[in-house]
Amino acid sequence: KHVLALSGGVGGAKLAAGLAATVSPQDLTLVVNTGDDFEHLGLTICPDIDSVAYALADLNDTSRGWGVKDESWQAMAMLRSLGEADWFNLGDRDLGTHIARSWRLRQGDSLSQITARLTRALGIAHAIVPMSDAPVRTQVGTAGGWLDFQRYFVKEQCRPVATGVRFSGALRAAPSPAFAAALESQDLGAIVICPSNPYLSVDPILSLPGVWEALRHRRVPVVAVSPLVGGASLKGPLGKLLAELGRPVSNASIADHYGDLLDHIIIDSADAADAGGLQERGLSVTVTPTVMCAAGDRERLARVALSAAGIET
């Protein structure tokens, strides 16, 4: 049976790595958010694709949570001394990825082709695919207008109060060829929504034309791993964002958000008290530790998610 996983960066990338350690390459499609992508200093940067790729290649920096391990910052220091923008940190090794990707895009290759090439070169056997080959840009509404995601997230450190989220270009962006193929696969056995921010990281994927309907109309279990732990976001602005958008910071909001798409939700042991309310909504619920520190944690959670979908591993 084929597994389709939807992922953002960081938290999502950890489960993606767990799934890759559990499911054989031909049976897994990892579809990654590209709403966080942006153009910076002439380069096209795809943070979530890179987070997933670096995690699978065991190149990810686990303390920062993004970028490459054993990184150096010489290029950044030079850029700074040249008076160029220095609010987005580009490590020397990581820069190689951005240069290769930007160069290939300029040669006319698609983001799917480039991602396949880069991941293969990193020794990754599993398919990491962008949600779309067309640019989609997540923007956060603030009192000062719409901010591009990385300006909101990194430059402004999520300080502005968010009034909304939109995905510029999504309505014109088709799912990438490999994503479309997985959605239509006769062999599809499970859809896993990784523990990424539903509003910022998963919604861009779901907002592509036809994706929500395609996922809902497949008679395939949809399993989400909640990104909340102990009623708060483990990392990132989910808690702050939920509060600003007027929703409770709880698993009920996560379930509400995915609505009738969702069949099963996996919540952290610290939130065991949420299970009853979620079951009353008709969801099946698994309560288990969801914080992934070691490789063993990632694999274990991947197995829990797959077994919730009825897939034997």
Using rule CB under 6 A, residue 227 touches ligand FO1: no
* Shortest distance in whole angstroms from residue 201 CB to ligand FO1: 6
Contact in structure between 229 and 272 (CB atoms under 8 Å): no
- Distance between CA 65 and CA 63 in Å, rounded? 5
Which residue is listed with tokens 């995690």?
55
Residue 47 touching ligand FO1 (CB under 6 A): yes
Q: Determine the interface stretch with ligand FO1 among 44-52, 70-78, 110-118, 178-186 (rule: CB under 6 A).
A: 44-52
Q: Which is nearer to ligand FO1, 24 or 89 (CB)?
A: 89
Q: Is 154 in the site for ligand FO1 (CB under 6 A)?
A: yes
Backbone φ and ψ for 248, nearest 5 degrees, come out as -65, 145
The tokens describing 84, both together, are: 């160029």
CB 150 within 8 A of CB 50: no
Residue 191's nearest CA partner among 216, 212, 222 is 222
66 binds ligand FO1 (CB under 6 A): yes
Q: How many residues bind ligand FO1 (CB under 6 A)?
A: 18
Nearer to ligand FO1, 46 or 220 (CB): 46
The letter for the amino acid at 57 is: A
Query: Under the criterion CB under 6 A, does residue 234 sit at the interface with ligand FO1?
Result: no
Q: Where are the alpha helices (DSSP H) in 73-157?
A: 74-81, 92-106, 111-121, 149-150
Q: Which stretch binds ligand FO1 (CB under 6 A): 71-79, 89-97, 210-218, 247-255?
A: 89-97
Residue 8 makes contact with ligand FO1 by CB under 6 A: yes
Find the shortest distance in angstroms from Cβ 1 to ligand FO1. 29
Residues 134-153 that bind ligand FO1 (CB under 6 A): 150, 153
φ/ψ of 218, rounded to 5, equals -75, 135
Least Å distance between CB 50 and ligand FO1? 4
Between β-strands 232-233 and 228-229, what pairing exists: parallel, antiparallel or unpaired?
A: antiparallel
Question: Where on the chain is the footprint of ligand FO1 (CB under 6 A)?
Answer: 8-10, 36, 45, 47-48, 50, 66-67, 88-90, 94, 150, 153-154, 201
